[in-house]
Amino acid sequence: MKRIPLTCYCVLLLAPFAQAELSVVGEFPNDVTQSNVRATGLPINNRIQPDRAMHADLSTVTDEAWILPISSSQLSPGPITPRTLNMPGLHPFFLVGGDPQSLTWLHQHAVGLRDMGAAGLAVEVADTESLARIRAAAPGLTILPVNGNEIAIRLQIEHYPVLISATALEQ
């Protein structure tokens, strides 16, 4: 049997304690990388107010064709049974598709949806023309194409169009 030198044992015993220390860029005033960070024009201390929610502005997305078509296998057009919800702080949102029932519902409720600041999720969209028709039914509302399967499962819904708020699920 081969004999392993004592130094190898020492290396194996001390290896778990020899981890590199992580440091954050710009953590120290004399950090050599700090001048490079300043060159990007971004502030080094970009602090977010903890008492204020941050929202991404997705209305500036110009080309959504890469995500289309959207199909949500857990959802289909149809009637829903209204029910109460207890989700304090939930921002109102709605689910629609490119079908005639959704377009009619969206056109009829556009003003109320806009007044409450509801965001729209198009869960069944064939192409860019279909998405344009959905958005034209409710001008001024943000409507983004997304797969609605996870929402359908979590809220136990099978149909759209539907409005979901902190206190109710309704059509």
Under DSSP, the state recorded for 99 is: S
pLDDT at 130 exceeding the cut of 70: yes
pLDDT for the residue numbered 64: 80
Q: Is the peptide bond before 69 cis (omega within 30 degrees of 0)?
A: yes
Q: Is the peptide bond before 139 cis (omega within 30 degrees of 0)?
A: no
With b for 16 or more beta-carbon neighbours within 10 A and e for fewer, the 62-73 pattern comes to eeeeeebebebe
CA distance 34 to 45: 11
Architecture of domain 58-170: 3-Layer(aba) Sandwich (3.40)
Q: What is the pLDDT of residues 143-155, one digit of tens each?
A: 999 999 999 999 9
- Whole-model pTM over 0.85: no
Nearest to 123 by CA among 94, 95, 156: 95
* Domain extents in the chain: 6-39, 58-170
Q: Tokens representing 60?
A: 């500036």
Give the total residue count for the chain.
171
Q: What is the pLDDT of residues 43-70, one digit of tens each?
A: 555 555 445 555 555 555 567 888 899 9
Nearest to 123 by CA among 60, 56, 73: 73
Residue 109: pLDDT band with limits 50, 70, 90: very high
